Structure 1
Amino acid sequence: MTQLRPLGKSDIKLSPLGLGCWQFSKGNNPIGKYWSTLEDEDMKAIIQTSLDGGINWFDTAEIYGKGESERTLASTLDKLDVPFEDALIATKWWPLMRKAESITQTIHARMDALNQRPISLYQVHQPFSLSSVQRQMEEMASLIDKGLIQSVGVSNFSAKAMREAHAVLESYGIPLVSNQVKYSLLDRSIEKNGVLDAAKELGISIIAYSPLEQGLLTGKYHDDQELFKSLSGPRKYMGKYKGKQLEKTRSLIELMRDLASKYNVTISQVALNWMIHYHGETVFVIPGASKVKHAKENVGAMSFKLSDTELLQLSDEAWRVGK
C-alpha cells in the first residue's frame, strides 16, 4: 500500500505522486493543443491504472482546455464510480488579466466543471495578475470560510511571493499548503533561488511538474538520437535533446540505468523516486501520462526506495552535468 504524506500543514494526505492532467484537454484552446487529443477510453484506462497503483490525487487547471481537463477528469471518475475521498482533486485559477475578485466569481464554474467533486486544493496558477498577492489570498480565504475549497496553494511563485501569500493566509489562521513549480534532477532552480528553503522553513509542500524534463530523463533520446526529430512544439528546437547537449547528460543517464537495473525498474522510475525521497516528504510529483504504459511507470516509482547514498550520488552527478 502506498504511504500517504501530509500536504503542507493541512490534514490532507496524498500519495507522493499525483497524476498531472494537462493532457486531458482534448485540444481545446491554445494551451490544450500542446498535447495530442486522447480517446476517452485511453483517458479512462490511464486514470484507472493510476488509482490501482496507489495514486489518490489528480492535478488539473481551469486553463487546461478551458476547463475540458477538469470536465474529463470528473466525468471519468464518475463513470468509474470512484468515491470522492479516493480521488482528491487539485485545480487552479488562471490569474492573467484578471482581478482577485475573479477567484470567488468563478469558483462555481470550477465546481460545475468538476461535477461538484470537492476541490481539495485550489491554486493560483501563476503570479501575474491585476491584483496583489494579498488580495488573491484574501479571496482564497473567503472560499475556505464558505467551505467551497479545502486548502490553498500557489504555483510558480517566487520565495518572496510565497512568503507573502503564507503571511496573509496565516493572519486568517489558514496555512499555505503548496507551491507548484518546475523541478527535476536537471532543473534545480528552486534549490538556488530560495523557494525550496522557504518551503521547508514554513512547512509548505513543493509540487513538482515536468519531473522527467519532458522525456529527457527517460533515457530514450540518449538511446536513439533521431527521436528528437519526431518531437512536436518547442521541444523540437531545444538543444538539450540532441548533439553535444544530449551527450553532456549521458553520464547521469548511465548512472540511472545502473540503478534501474539494480531495482528492476526503469530509468524514469529512478528519476521520480529521487524526486519523492531526496527532500524527505517535502516534494510531491505530478508526472503526466498520455499512454497507459506511462501511468504504469509512474505508479511503479512508488514501489521501491533508493538508499540515502544513491540519492546523494544522483544529486551530485546531476549537479555536475548541469553546470
Structure 2
Amino acid sequence: MTTQSTQKRTLRAFGATGLRLSPLGLGCWQFSKGRGLVGGFWPDLSESAILEIVRISLEGGINWFDTAEVYGGGQSEQMLAAALDKLGPAAADVYIATKWWPAMRTAANIARTIDERLRCLGGRSIALYQVHQPFSLSSVRSEMTAMAELVQKGHIANVGVSNYSARQMRDADRALRDYGLRLASNQVKYSMLDRRIERNGILETAQELGIAIIAYSPLEQGILSGKFHKQPELVRSIKGPRKWMSGFRAEGLHRTQPLIEALDRLAERYAASPTQIALNWLIHAHGDNVFAIPGASKPHHAEENVKAMCFRLSDSEIGELSDIAKVRR
C-alpha cells in the first residue's frame, strides 16, 4: 500500500489572480432547496445536512465554494451563506464564487443584479463572479466591461466565465486587459469521461493565457464512483433527470467498466476510493491548471471529496488512467 501524504492544506495560485485556492472547491448546486427548473435537479437538502457538508469541507482543507444565481433563484447562495455564518471563525477566510445568469438579459443587468447577489450571500464578498453561459443579448466585450466596472467599484474581486469556447475566452481576456484585468477562469464540464476540452482548444488556450480551468461534473454525475457498476439497480433510485443520462444505461455502464476496474485497483493501492482516484487524476493530470468542484448531497460525500487531496497519483498512474479513459468516452 502506498503511504498517503497530508496535502489537505495545499493551495494553488488561481490563474492570474492573487488568490490561492485548494485544488478542490465545493460545488453548491445541490443547495438549491429543490427550487426552480435548475434547482429541481437535486432533492431538497435539510439545513442541518448543508451545514455538516460545509463544515466537513472546511475542516478537510477546502477554502472556496462555487454557487450561482440560477441555483434555486438564489437559494444556494443563501443556504451557503447561512452555513458559513453558523460556522463562525472557521469560515472567516473562505472565498465564494458565484455566477450571473445571462439568458434573455443584456450586460446592463450585471450591474442591476449585483446587490441581490450580495444580499443572498449575506454581505460576504464575491471573490470570483462568472458569466454562467456564453449567451445573452449582449456581446462578450459588453459583459466584460460590465464585470470590470464591478471590480472597479469593489463589488467583486475577479472575473470568470463558464462554458466559453477557446475563442470566447480570448475575447473575454482581451476585453478585460483594457481595464488592467485578466480573465481568471473558465468553468467547464470536464471529467475522465468527458475530455472535450483537451481536443477543442479550451485547455490549450487556458494554459497559454494563464487562465484557470474549473471542472464541473468531475465525477460524471456519480458514474465514476463505480457504485452503479457494482449495483446497477441503484440507477432506479436516482431522483431527478440525471437517471436518464446515457452513462447510466446498461450499455453505458458496460462501456466504462474497464475504467472503473482501473480506478478500483488504484483505490486499493492508495487505501482510497474510486471517487478519490478520479478526482486526484483531474487535479494533477495537467499540472496546477485544473481545479474541480465536486458536489456533495450527503456528509459522507464531502468526506470523500476532501480525502482526494491527501495523496498524489504518480505520473505513470495518471498516464495509465488517461489512456484507459480515452478509449471509453
**Same fold, judged at TM 0.5 (above):** yes
The Cα of 1:83 is off from its aligned counterpart by: 6.1
- What is the alpha-carbon distance in structure 1 between the residues aligned to residue 45 and residue 313 of structure 2? 33
Give the aligned partner of residue 119 of structure 2: 112
List gaps (5 residues or longer) in structure 1: none
**1:99 match: secondary structure:** coil
What amino acid sits opposite 2:34 in the alignment?
A: G
Contact residue 68 and residue 100 of structure 2 kept, 8 A: yes
Change (3 A) 1:153 1:286: same
Contact residue 34 and residue 40 of structure 2 kept, 8 A: yes
Give the aligned partner of residue 309 of structure 1: 316
The Cα of 1:85 is off from its aligned counterpart by: 4.8
**2:215 match: secondary structure:** strand
Indicate the RMSD between aligned Cα atoms, in angstroms: 1.0
Q: Write the deviation string for residues 173-225 of structure 1: whole angstroms up to 9, x where unpaired.
A: 10101000000001001011110000000000000000000010000111011
Give the aligned partner of residue 284 of structure 2: 277
Normalised by the size of structure 2, how large is the TM-score?
0.96
Give the aligned partner of residue 102 of structure 1: 109
- What is the alpha-carbon distance in structure 2 between the residues aligned to residue 220 and residue 21 of structure 1? 22
What is the aligned counterpart of 2:179 among 172, 178, 188?
A: 172
Give the aligned partner of residue 222 of structure 2: 215
Give the aligned partner of residue 3 of structure 2: none
What is the aligned counterpart of 1:259 among 254, 266, 282?
A: 266
Give the aligned partner of residue 81 of structure 1: 88
Contact residue 42 and residue 240 of structure 2 kept, 8 A: no
Q: Relative CO higher for 1 or 2, CA cutoff 8 Å, sep ≥ 6?
A: 2
List gaps (5 residues or longer) in structure 2: 1-7
| 1:140 partnered with 2:158 | no
Give the aligned partner of residue 237 of structure 2: 230
Greater Cα shift, 6-15 or 80-89: 80-89
What amino acid sits opposite 1:304 in the alignment?
A: F
Identical aligned residues as a percent: 56
Contact residue 84 and residue 118 of structure 1 kept, 8 A: no
- What is the alpha-carbon distance in structure 1 between the residues aligned to residue 214 and residue 227 of structure 2? 25
Give the aligned partner of residue 51 of structure 1: 58
- What is the alpha-carbon distance in structure 1 between the residues aligned to residue 82 and residue 10 of structure 2? 27
Contact residue 61 and residue 91 of structure 1 kept, 8 A: yes
Change (3 A) 1:63 1:162: same
Give the aligned partner of residue 200 of structure 1: 207
Contact residue 60 and residue 70 of structure 1 kept, 8 A: yes
Give the aligned partner of residue 249 of structure 1: 256
Q: How many residues align?
A: 322
What amino acid sits opposite 1:196 in the alignment?
A: L
Give the aligned partner of residue 40 of structure 1: 47
Greater Cα shift, 129-138 or 218-227: 218-227
The Cα of 1:234 is off from its aligned counterpart by: 2.7
Give the aligned partner of residue 319 of structure 1: 326
- What is the alpha-carbon distance in structure 2 between the residues aligned to residue 92 and residue 196 of structure 1? 21
Normalised by the size of structure 1, how large is the TM-score?
0.98
Change (3 A) 1:58 1:103: same
**1:321 match: secondary structure:** coil
The Cα of 1:41 is off from its aligned counterpart by: 0.6
| 1:286 partnered with 2:272 | no
- What is the alpha-carbon distance in structure 2 between the residues aligned to residue 58 and residue 306 of structure 1? 25
**2:111 match: secondary structure:** helix
Give the aligned partner of residue 155 of structure 1: 162
Q: Write the deviation string for residues 116-142 of structure 1: whole angstroms up to 9, x where unpaired.
A: 101000000001100000000000000
Contact residue 257 and residue 267 of structure 1 kept, 8 A: yes
The Cα of 1:76 is off from its aligned counterpart by: 1.2
Runs of 4+ that moved beyond 6 A: none
What amino acid sits opposite 2:197 in the alignment?
A: I
What is the aligned counterpart of 1:124 among 99, 123, 131?
A: 131
The Cα of 1:240 is off from its aligned counterpart by: 1.9
Give the aligned partner of residue 186 of structure 1: 193
The Cα of 1:27 is off from its aligned counterpart by: 1.6
Contact residue 84 and residue 117 of structure 1 kept, 8 A: no
- What is the alpha-carbon distance in structure 2 between the residues aligned to residue 122 and residue 235 of structure 1? 27
The Cα of 1:239 is off from its aligned counterpart by: 3.0
What amino acid sits opposite 2:59 in the alignment?
A: D
- What is the alpha-carbon distance in structure 2 between the residues aligned to residue 157 and residue 244 of structure 1? 31
